[in-house]
A = this chain, B = another copy of it.
Amino acid sequence: MTVETTPAQEIAEALFRPRSIVLIGASDDPTKIGGRILAHLTDGGYPGEVHVVSRTGRPVQGRPSVTSVAELPTGIDLAVVATPAAHVPSTVAALGRHGVRVAVVVSSGFGETGTPQGRSLEAELRAACRETGIRVVGPNCQGVANLGARMVASFSSTFSRSTGLTDGSVAVLSQSGAMGAVLAQLAQPFVDGVRYWAATGNETDLTVADLLRGVVADPDVRTVQIYLEHLGNTAVLAEAAAEAARAGKTVLALKAGRTASGSRAAGSHTGALAQEDAVVDAFLARHGIVRARDPREMSELVRLFARPRPVGEGRVALVTNSGGLGVLLADEAEAHGLQLARFSERTLAQLRAGLPAFAAVQNPVDITAQLLTRPELVRNALAALEQDPGTDVVVVALGILGEYYDLDQILADVVDFQRRTTKLVMVCWVAGQRGMVERFAAHGVPAFDDTTACIRALAGLVRHERWTPPPAAEPVPAVQPPGAGRQSEHQGKQILTGWGLPVVRSLLAADPEEAVARAREIGYPVVLKLSAPSVAHKTELGLVEVGIADDDALRAAARRMLAAPVVGEIDGLLVEPMIAAVVEAAVGVLHDPAAGPVIMVGAGGVHAELLKDVRLLVPPIDETAARAAIESLALFPLLDGYRGRPPGDVDALVRLVVDLAAVPAVRAGQVTELDLNPVLVLPRGQGVVAVDVALTLRDESASRTTSL
């Protein structure tokens, strides 16, 4: 029996705000998992009802217990299951039948073991969900918590008393429990607190993306940190990111498994599939999810995003007591594409009035080592910048030591400035008195302990402010695939022409004489190719010849190609015109197991291949996105009229990318690979034309046809 799935909000309600909880597999011993969870529920002050199922039926940690699900009252929202893996599927099925809405399975011993038994138990667990309608977090997870509801249904050590985790505007959702703990701990000192925390383990049912939809609906949540080893269901993740964006919230992601080594490790950890990291980057960027490289960068990003202020153009003023820090920050600003503010005359005059005569008043402002005896210099510099019309962000960078400086005064002045101004205020406190970064953070000022870290986080914020949400994704069309498997050059060109894409004129000929007739139709010089599905690298096999000038040369080339040892069927010879291009580009489609179809655009030819000058775009792709990708190519100047060369038809290349992404067969995932390399970019106004087409269609259909 299949039951309707519960909408995201109802799941979030039962999972994060349960009125009652049952713990299956509780223990008296608080060093055991089932014991720890019960202790956390009690210590956290969970105000709802807690039921306990134990093997013995004796009281556990002072709470009465029963020995079976059947003995429980009805109407329980949430179950936490900590029994041995073998009992989990039947227990979850029983819970589902009993009307429990969500189960968090913390037990291990499922798919993550890589054993047939483990995989089979996990399949049984999935079946229990499907059959009874209960939703499951886990298995092999560390549980969930909502500090806003004083509900800690997790054994993670992040909820031990020593971590000092408090309720706040941040949520942490992680496929790995340990990484979830790390992210929460690294964030806590720098934010107002962490409300939601969940580790999803094997994600046999509910995923980080599902829970993300739940937590962004809470108006108090402002920032969500997610840790992923695989993207999971990208449609749900994209929708959750869109919901977050509409609500003005930011999702920060740490996605591990960027490399082959990392992917392999992730595969044995959470069963993640290897995934092209450039696709992950493109997907996250498209959906406004800000990516961190490591836990440290995540902690640095969250301290800025959790206390956001509009940063306008991101023009940054640097105020420092060390010329060296000013230089390092200026370096990083330029390296990260940020603009240094240019101060108005009024600002410069005010800086001169408030600072020592030998201070540098141009940006970076060096208030000098006199800060030692004149703590008011920070205040004076900030007062001058407050009204500066060209400054959006003020970074106060100090590298000073405790006992010689009036730190309390400096702290108070920066905090006071932040209260008065609408500009973003950041502190970069490099070395010096310990704990100052946390003291600034406690007063709501984003503070960093390194120059690169500070500017990198700011650049992330500025970039995110410029991000525009993608157009709403239209439903994927149901279309008949135009064929299956690897297509010959001729078939590929026919199919692309059918899709309305610009393909070179290409005439099929069965033999040398027909080729000559076709060449006369087109006009010499021509290109000759052999078309056959089995031929992948025509150039290397000598199955392409360009610049053929006359009938004799054509006949010779045709005879040579027809005599070449080619496996399988042959369409025949293709005769095509020679076309002079401004530059060669490449456009393609690749199929990512998680993200689906991804469009590639880049420089064409062998140089581009080696230099990897390509951009990936995750649909939906509008003209803005396509143009931005093309303009960001290193070779873009060649497209745009480099050093007096004629400019290419960039608009037509943009159109090709947008049109290709909109092709129903592409959107439906029927194109597993498409490589148009080169796409000749003609002079402006004359379009683009694909001259080489390598197309592979999904092989699920038994029929094989070249017609549309």
Contacts and interface: CB of A to CB of B under 8 A. Distances in A.
A105 to B, nearest CB: 15
Given A294-B451, A296-B449, A158 B401 contact: yes
Contact of A331 (B174, B178, B261): B261
Given A323-B178, A340-B261, A369-B178, A185 B330 contact: no
B181 A399 contact: yes
A449 B186 CA distance: 11
B334 A227 contact: no
Contact of A262 (B330, B452, B612, B637): B330
Interface in A257-271: 257-262, 264-266, 268-270
A325 interface: yes
14 contacts: A108-B358, A109-B358, A157-B401, A160-B403, A176-B323, A262-B328, A265-B327, A268-B323, A269-B326, A295-B431, A606-B642, A607-B611, A607-B635, A610-B638
Interface in A400-421: 400-405
A430 interface: yes
Interface string A12-52: 00000000000000000001000000000000000000000
Considering the complex of A and B, which 7 residue pairs feature the smallest CB-CB distances, nearest first? Answer: A269-B323, A178-B322, A262-B331, A179-B324, A176-B324, A259-B334, A157-B401
A182 interface: yes
Nearest to A180: B324
Give the number of copies in the complex.
2
A442 to B, nearest CB: 16
A460 B327 CA distance: 24
Nearest to A360: B268
A404 B614 CA distance: 49
B634 A611 contact: yes
A432 interface: yes
A260 B337 CA distance: 12
Contacts of A265: 323, 326-327, 330, 364
A450 B295 contact: yes
A590 to B, nearest CB: 20
A67 interface: no
Interface in A651-665: none
A373 B257 CA distance: 29
Given A322-B176, A400-B157, A634-B611, A256 B328 contact: yes
A256 B634 contact: no
A494 interface: no
Contact of A430 (B295, B321, B430, B637): B295
B296 A453 contact: yes
A372 interface: yes
* Most chain B Cβ neighbours within 10 Å, of A331, A335, A399, A607: A331
Given A335-B258, A372-B157, A399 B327 contact: no
A362 interface: yes
A644 interface: yes
A175 B327 CA distance: 12
A161 interface: yes
A323 to B, nearest CB: 3
Interface string A248-281: 0000001011111110111011100000000000
A387 to B, nearest CB: 23
Interface in A440-477: 449-453
A399 B254 CA distance: 16
A366 interface: yes
B431 A270 contact: no
A330 B611 contact: no
A77 to B, nearest CB: 27
A546 to B, nearest CB: 15
A293 interface: yes
Contact of A335 (B227, B259, B330): B259
A647 B182 CA distance: 51
A454 to B, nearest CB: 10
A61 interface: no
* Most chain B Cβ neighbours within 10 Å, of A266, A269, A322, A613: A269
A190 B268 CA distance: 34
A607 B607 contact: yes
A643 B538 CA distance: 12
A358 B113 contact: yes
A576 interface: no
Interface in A578-630: 603, 606-607, 610-613
Contacts of A449: 296
Given A176-B324, A260-B334, A269-B324, 17 more contacts: A112-B358, A157-B372, A163-B401, A174-B324, A181-B399, A182-B399, A182-B430, A182-B432, A185-B401, A185-B432, A259-B331, A261-B330, A296-B449, A296-B450, A540-B643, A606-B642, A610-B634
